[in-house]
Structure formats: C-alpha cells, structure tokens
Amino acid sequence: MKGEIDLSHIISLKNRVAIVTGASRGIGRSIAKTLADKGVHLALVARSLEKMKTLEKEIQTKGIKIRIFPVDISEPSVPEVVVKETIEEFGRLDFLINNAGIALSKPLIETTVEEWDRQMMVNARAPFLFSREAIPYLKKSDAPSIVNISSVVGYKGYVLQGAYTA
C-alpha cells in the first residue's frame, strides 16, 4: 500500500494473542486478516459460525493458531467465557479489539425498549465486560492494547439512526 510504513524490523507482533469481536465481516474481518499476516494468534468472536469458518480457511495458512467463538456478545456471560477460554487455549492475551457493533435504522420514536437495550448491550456493555475480564491478563503482557472501534455517527448523526447515535 502506498505510504504504508513498515515497522516489522522494530516491532514484532509474531506469537502475540488477540481477541477480535465482530470478526466475521467488515472492519473486524480486516483487522483479523491483518493481524494474521503479522503472525498474531487469534480468538475470533462473532455470531456467524459460517462466516468465521470462511475467514479461518483464508488465514489458517499463515501459521497461526485460531479459536472461533460463535457467540452473541449481548449475553452478559460471554466475555468472561471468551477471555477464560482464550487464556486456556493460548496461555496469554496481548490485544483486545472491541469491534462488534449493531445499528438500528428506524425512527427513534419507533424504537422499542428491547431494541434499545440490545443495541446498548452489544455496543456499550460488551466492550466494558470484555475489557474488565481481559485487563488482568493484559497486565501480564509487555505490550498490551485495548482498541475500541467506534463510529463516525458519534460526530454526525444520520437519518433513521437516532437510537444508534445516542
């Protein structure tokens, strides 16, 4: 890529371990593929087992370990289980990428409390719970990182996304 800076001779990500939520498509998928290219072992989290299996096939030739978690992160017990099983599988955790998110495309006045709650569970509570569970293990890494992916909607709202913008 033009203008890309290669720091691989200074910083190596090889054999690091990352949890990536929302890994089955979009930004999460791209992050997973990029980390795999750098030799990072991956715990991939998303609802679609089929899409994650496809991703796994694409990146398994990179010589990394991959663990798939086909789960719904709106369930409050999921972050604890994912972090615990990631540690059991890989023995460490270096990066947490909180990428998963959902958006409602409907007028705010038509949004139900259940829809609002689900969106908040995925977009706000899950990153909090994942971070809280991961921090004790991340503290053991010599280069830990938590990356929270957000949306441009935080700067500028869009029609039919009042609940998401909030």
For residue 159, the model assigns a pLDDT of: 74
For residue 104, the model assigns a pLDDT of: 85
The answer for 164, left when phi > 0, alpha when psi is -120 to 50, beta otherwise, is: alpha
Q: Which of 20-24, 64-68, 113-117, 152-156 has the lowest mean pLDDT?
A: 152-156
Question: For 65-84, what is each residue's pLDDT tens digit?
Answer: 999 999 999 999 999 999 99
Question: For 40-60, what is each residue's pLDDT tens digit?
Answer: 999 999 999 999 999 999 998
For residue 2, the model assigns a pLDDT of: 65
Q: Which domains does the chain have, with CATH numbers?
A: 17-165 (3.40.50.720)
For residue 21, is pLDDT > 70?
Answer: yes
For residue 91, the model assigns a pLDDT of: 98
Spell out the residues 6+ positions from residue 42 whose beta carbon is closer than 8 angstroms to its own: 17, 18, 19, 20, 23, 32, 35, 36, 59, 64, 65, 66, 67
Residue type for 10, please? I
For residue 61, the model assigns a pLDDT of: 87
For residue 163, the model assigns a pLDDT of: 73
Length of the chain: 166
Could you list the active site residues? 164
Q: Which of 130, 162, 161 is nearest to 146 (CA)?
A: 130
Question: For 119-162, what is each residue's pLDDT tens digit?
Answer: 999 999 999 999 999 999 999 999 999 999 987 777 777 777 77
